Amino acid sequence: MAECWNERLTYESDEINWGSGRELAFVLLAALVAGLIAKLPAILPISEEAFYPRNIGFILFPALAAYFAWKRALPTPRIALLAGAMLVGLLFINFLPALESSDTSVLACIHLLLFLWALLGIAFAGDKLKSDEMRLEYLKYNGDLVVMTTLILIAGGIMTGLTIGLFSLIGFQIEEFYFQNIVIFGLPAAPIVGTYLIQTNPQLVGKVSPVIARLFSPLVLVMLVIYLLAMAWSGKDPYNDREFLLVFNALLLGVMAIIFFSVAETSRTSKSKMEIWMLFLLSVVTILVNGIALSAILFRITEWGITPNRLAVLGGNVLILINLLLVTTQLYRIVFKQDSTTEVGKVIAFYLPAYFVWAIIVTFLFPFLFGFA
């Protein structure tokens, strides 16, 4: 009898749930608005080079935040706070000096994306903003969204190729029209529709994302170890090569994202000892990578002084290092002291607001601190 009830309560239908007509209409309207924002340089006399670097985040994040605010039935004061924060960001970023002449403007554009991502998280959490479980759920949603959006874009790419190919066979060259009027609406629509599908059909990627996390964790660990050995063998180092340091930090961010997403999955379900060991070793190696990057930044500051770029990278690396140390400590306790895996998730959830604060500092304070240089 107990098994029967368990099957009934945990049963997941294989059929696609399209939600209510009202919700579908809201999503389609959000996708249309996002597409219109993306097309503004073609509608208004605005330079694409000036518009997209500053406003690319406003194509997507407000639409997604509006969807979750509506779905979670956020109170009016919370909606007004989110809308006001986004409006401040929009006005501020567009009144900064030209990107070509200001490093702080470039840094603001980059960190504004993190600021908007955090605001989206506030909308996603609804009335459970302080809940560790909801913060981890937000990380899981991001991982699921990457998977779903990728699938949608692959399908869209195949459709684009077929459509252009078929029309070319009958003498119509529609490439320019198609990319300017269809693709530009389809690209921002992909994550919005992907979000809708994830929310209405969690079973679509609910079992795919954990598999991807399990596959990539050991692969990334092996790649990282081989890369460090190859770096030492080649004589290439991030201390004197600025471009290499940037690539090195990009690698660090990618690996950290994989660790955090894997931990978010780990905290939701029980994991084997081998998987915990793999995450622990990956965290240790990533701390080594972070240490190299941090020492390279400190070396460059000592040799050539402080600049907005160096200070921003230094602060970001320090934040990441502290976070990795906290996560690795909890993973160590799980491996050697048999602690609960939920503690790792709590550490990540607790630390997430630190990135939000740093994004605010770099986006809104750095331009003034460095005289808009």
* pLDDT tens per residue, range 260-296: 777 766 655 556 677 788 888 888 888 898 898 889 8
Residue ranges of the chain with per-residue pLDDT less than 50: 1-11
The angle, 0 to 180 degrees and rounded to 10, between the axes of the packed helices 308-337 and 342-360 is 170
Distance separating the N- and C-terminal Cα atoms of the chain:
71
**For residue 199, how far is the Cα from the chain centroid?**
18
Q: Is 310 left (phi over 0), alpha (psi -120 to 50) or beta?
A: alpha
| 14 φ/ψ angles, rounded to the nearest 5 degrees | -85, -10
Task: At 147, list the tokens.
Answer: 């998977």
pLDDT of residue 265: 66
pLDDT for residue 9 = 40
- Dihedral sign from CA coordinates of 67, 71, 72, 76: positive
pTM above the 0.75 mark?
Answer: yes
- Is residue 327 within 8 A of residue 263, CB to CB? The reply is yes
- Contacts of residues 161-164 at CB distance under 8 Å and 24 or more positions apart, as own/partner, are none
Specify the pLDDT at position 6: 45
pLDDT confidence of residue 8: 42
Q: Is residue 269 within 8 Å of 144, Cβ to Cβ?
A: no
How much is the pLDDT for 78? 94
pLDDT in tens, 228-253: 888 888 777 777 777 777 877 888 88
CA pair distance 163, 305, nearest whole angstrom: 55
Given phi > 0 = left and psi -120 to 50 = alpha, else beta, which region is 173? beta
CA distance 214 to 272: 11
Output the six-digit token pair for 51.
């518009």
